[in-house]
């Protein structure tokens, strides 16, 4: 089955700790995205990548970092600089960047201890 | 600056009736619009889309209407079913630029 896999489903972060959220896709999509969802807010774009070894900041990139070493993988690191990391994080992919419909993973809920 | 707005955070509809979810936008350059459906603790799934060259697109029980002069988009679900209970996000884009999402409307369909 083709799709996007996010792990873990739940993650807890201690103060000052960096944590990494995994996102893997086997859809052979070029573009991948990270969104953050907070209660009462829409999906906000953190980072996106159009091609391997290239990525761009979204609207709320501060305190986050990404890498795109392989086409199928786009991990997101939430650094200690992100002061309000508690949120539901969604990874998505599309065949190419643009207004193609996005395919989303099932999300990771990150909470701060 | 919220370019895509869903002013109703929630909507409750009886099973079998029509559900109408609304979305307003401010950027007249948007030329592609989508609706996504999201269940709790899951990722959104694509529902239906419409290009700015159309004013209506229909897919089974789901119809999206676009009123460009009013900068207004609506999703009609008829008849509504309990399984339609979810959060619905509208999204818009200019050309191949990134999607801008609204804040979502929680739909509850009761028996």
Query: DSSP of B9-56, one letter per residue?
Result: SEEEEETTS-EEEEEEE--TT--EEEEEEE-TTS--EEEEEEETT-SE
C-alpha of B108 from chain center: 15
Per-residue pLDDT tens digits of chain B, which is 111 residues long: 679 999 999 999 999 999 999 999 999 999 999 999 999 888 999 999 999 999 999 999 999 999 999 999 999 999 999 999 999 999 998 887 788 899 999 999 999
CA-based nearest residue in chain A for residue B31 = A99
Mind telling me how many Å the CA of B47 is from chain A's nearest CA? 9
**Nearest 5°: phi and psi at B26?**
-110, -20
Which chain A residues are closer than 8 Å to B41 by Cβ?
9, 88, 106-107, 109
Q: What is the pLDDT of residues A48-101, one digit of tens each?
A: 999 999 999 999 999 999 999 999 999 999 998 888 999 999 999 998 766 678
Question: Count H helices, E strands: chain B?
Answer: 0, 11
The Cα–Cα gap between B111 and B90 comes to 26
Chain B interface residues facing chain A, Cβ-Cβ under 8 Å?
Answer: 2, 4, 6, 9, 32, 34, 36, 41-46, 49, 89, 93, 95-104
Residue with tokens 């936008």: B25
């Amino acid at each position: 089955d083709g799709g996007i896999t996010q792990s873990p489903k739940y993650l807890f972060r201690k103060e000052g700790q960096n944590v990494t959220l995994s996102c893997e896709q086997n859809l052979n999509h070029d573009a991948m995205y990270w969104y953050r969802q907070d209660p009462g807010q829409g999906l906000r774009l953190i980072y996106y990548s159009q091609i391997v070894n290239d990525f761009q900041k979204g609207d709320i990139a501060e305190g986050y970092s990404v890498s795109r070493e392989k086409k199928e993988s786009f991990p997101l690191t939430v650094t200690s600089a992100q002061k309000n990391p508690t949120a539901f994080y969604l990874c998505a992919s599309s065949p190419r960047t643009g207004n193609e419909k996005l395919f989303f993973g099932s999300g990771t809920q990150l909470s701060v201890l | 600056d919220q370019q895509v707005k869903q002013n109703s955070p929630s909507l409750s509809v009886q099973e079998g009736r029509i559900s109408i979810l609304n979305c307003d936008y401010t950027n007249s350059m948007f030329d592609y619009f989508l609706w996504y459906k999201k269940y709790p603790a899951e990722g959104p799934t694509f529902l239906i889309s419409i290009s700015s060259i159309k004013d209506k697109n229909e897919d089974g029980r789901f119809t999206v209407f676009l009123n460009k002069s009013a900068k207004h988009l609506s999703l009609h679900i008829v008849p509504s079913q309990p399984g339609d209970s979810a959060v619905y996000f509208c999204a818009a884009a200019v050309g191949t630029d990134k999607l801008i999402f609204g804040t979502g409307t929680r739909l509850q369909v009761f028996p």
